[in-house]
Amino acid sequence: MKHLLLLLLGHLAAAVLSAPMGFVRWCTKSDKEFKKCSDLASKAPVFSCVMKYSSMECIDAIQNGTADAITLDGGDLYTAGLENKKLQPIIAEHYGNSSEGCYYAVAVVKKGSGFGIRDLAGKRSCHTGLGKSAGWNMPIGTLLKLGILKWGGSDKRTIEKVVGDFFSSSCAPGAEKDSQLCKSCKGDCSRSHNEPFYGYDGAFQCLVEDAGDVAFVNHLTVPDKEKVKYELLCPDNTRARIEDYKECHLARVPAHAVVTRKEPELAKLIRKSLSAVHDFDLFSSKAYAPAKNLMFTDTTEKLVKLPSNMNSFLYLGAGYMSVIRSLNKEITAAGSNAITWCAVGPSEMKKCDMWRIRSMMAGENKIMCQNASTVEECMKKIMSKEADAMAVDGGEIYIAGQCGLVPAMVEQYDEAKCNTSGALASSYYAVAVVKKDSGISWANLRGRRSCHTGYGRNAGWNVPMGKIYKQTGDCNFTKFFSSGCAPGAPANSPFCFQCAGSDGTVNDEAKCQPNSEEKYYGYAGAFRCLVEGAGDVAFIKHTTVEENSNGKGPAWATNILSSDYKLICPKRSSPVPITDFESCHLAATPAHAVVTRPETRDYVVRNLRTQQVRFGRGGSDASFAMFQSQSNNLLFKDSTKCLQEVPSGFDYKDFLGQDYMDTMTSLRQCTDSTPDLEKLCTFNTCQ
């Protein structure tokens, strides 16, 4: 009778399709959770409760407006954030200082059971739920990565079938009820509290009751008084104490988060309502035992507000996303023979469209094109799988790496090294250029007007501003330069004052935008800013002046002589010829590189190798040139001689090198120099 009453109340709450603004309808998945929610509502009437029986039903209810909020783990956050759902994480759980805003996926076994992670074949497994982070995505992804579990790209079996065949029996709530993955379950094998072995504590109880030999849970699951009886399986095939989860785990996973529709006022109401709860413990389920983790994880210590422009993909990170996509066989190669290139601005899109047309073979495109107004927007599209790859500079590689993307191929500027196996990747010098006879040196640079390739760019911003910060200790660079042009800077910043836009009019929408529509964007653009008198110093690369003078370069550079410009640097008291860049530069900086998602890295490499055989320098098809542009450096730097593979396994830190990483770490002490995308990606320390 009690169950029917709760069910009736749940349906009644769900029927309130147009709940008046000012109420938060929380979605619950079990009788016990509904009871806790109802008790909360009696203390805080702003809340009401909706009864469903799975995370998926709740996601659908929130999407269609019959519920407003629920707390989800990473696997469900991924589903909630897909294009057809479009829910947004707004608040994250925090499990105390030791967890750093995340939790650890671990494999728990009974002490003395005598096997390692490489001996799991034929054992019995306990999972929190199919598609759950700690209980499924991370452990199965790890077993695949380690080669313990075999599942080839051409394998027609589902991953559920492969796992079911690997273990002798399992309980993975949410699996097909007549499958091996439900064989060890105690109840109905549903991904709900109707299955006693569901969730963290359920999976652990599965191990306790000897229904399984290993439980895939999080590091907080085993009760303190029980820890002495259990151990962790480590990826190196050893074992460790439960307390040693930081050294012995399968993955670090972003904390559970509250999701809702992308409605700013609703998100604000949910945050305000939760923060106003008093005389009720949101993070305890003791009153509803034996159920645990109702509404929120019981180990939560506080809730943390997420930035308003956060989405599921940014919150989870590209590394986590790649695991899920690999498990779902969502790799580009599985569905298409093309890679989608992200072009920044109309000029790049025009070149990309030409590449797309010329790349067609046997009626099939090998290159597709996606467009965005900025590099950051392109990176977001790559993370969300709307695009696959783009070429970026070192500063942008740093941002991409912080978001979990990886370098796949690097531009090589020395033709002699293009056919050399294992040749060192190219680098270039970041330099500061002034007009000859201007009287400007590094010592009297303060108060001048500056020209930058772009805000957050490598040679144009990170290197010179890192030098200036080290010199002054002041992050407010507007105190150093009077004004300038750094495309991508905040619109009201003095670093937009000198920008020209596309036509020089006051309301020009291209003004200070970080794409080729801004005349002073990029290397050639920053030099043009100096040439045309909009700035007193240009921060560019060492070849820029030569490429845009003495009869070379676009129309605006027709009458420019390289001898009219000089280099300044901290080590010299007076300017030197631009040919002296080896002795007078600000830094040697990494070459531009192609970035992509981890799971598409190999496919991007194979595709680009094929493309440059056709369209690279000396390629077989002269109808398109990858490394030439009508205006400078579109898609790739025009000085590129070839693309070379970045060694497999290299992440952005390996690629950039320690010296550059140290420079960026120093500059990032100036939070104003940290791009918004990087702030979003690093908000969660688990990535």
Rounded to two decimals, what is the model's pTM? 0.76
Mean pLDDT score of the chain: 89
Q: Is the pLDDT of residue 334 over 60?
A: no
Helices (H), 264-311: 264-275
Q: For position 332, what pLDDT does the model report?
A: 45
Encoded tokens for 53:
């029986």
Q: What is the largest CA-CA distance in the chain?
A: 92
Cα-Cα-Cα-Cα torsion 82, 83, 87, 91, nearest 10 degrees, comes to: 60
pLDDT at residue 525 greater than cutoff 80: yes
Question: Cis omega before residue 487 (within 30°)?
Answer: no
CA of residue 238 relative to chain centroid, distance: 31
In angstroms, what CA-CA distances link 643 with 340, 407, 607, 609?
17, 12, 12, 8
362-419 confidence digits (pLDDT tens)? 778 899 999 999 999 999 999 888 999 999 988 899 999 988 899 999 999 988 889 8
Average of per-residue pLDDT across 562-580? 95
Please state which of the ranges 203-212, 309-318, 542-551 shows the lowest mean pLDDT.
309-318
Query: Strand pairing partners for 394?
Result: none
Helix (H, G, I), strand (E, B) or coil at 412: strand
Strands 339-344 and 367-372, how do they pair? parallel
For residue range 266-322, what is the model confidence (pLDDT) as tens digits?
999 999 999 999 999 999 999 999 888 999 999 899 999 999 889 988 888 877 887
What per-residue confidence (pLDDT) applies to 362? 75
pLDDT band at 10 (very low <50, low <70, confident <90, very high): very low
Confidence of residue 258 (pLDDT cuts 50, 70, 90): very high
Burial 300-322 (b: 16+ CB within 10 A, else e): beebeebeeebbbbbbbbbbbbb
Phi, psi of 669 (to 5 degrees): -65, -20
Q: Of 601, 613, 652, which is closest to residue 332 (Cα–Cα)?
A: 601
Q: What is the pLDDT of residues 86-143, one digit of tens each?
A: 899 999 999 887 666 688 999 999 999 999 999 999 999 999 999 898 999 999 989 9
Surface-to-core class of residue 439, CB atoms within 10 Å of its CB (0-12 exposed, 13-18 middle, 19+ buried): exposed
Q: Which two tokens stand for residue 676?
A: 């918004």
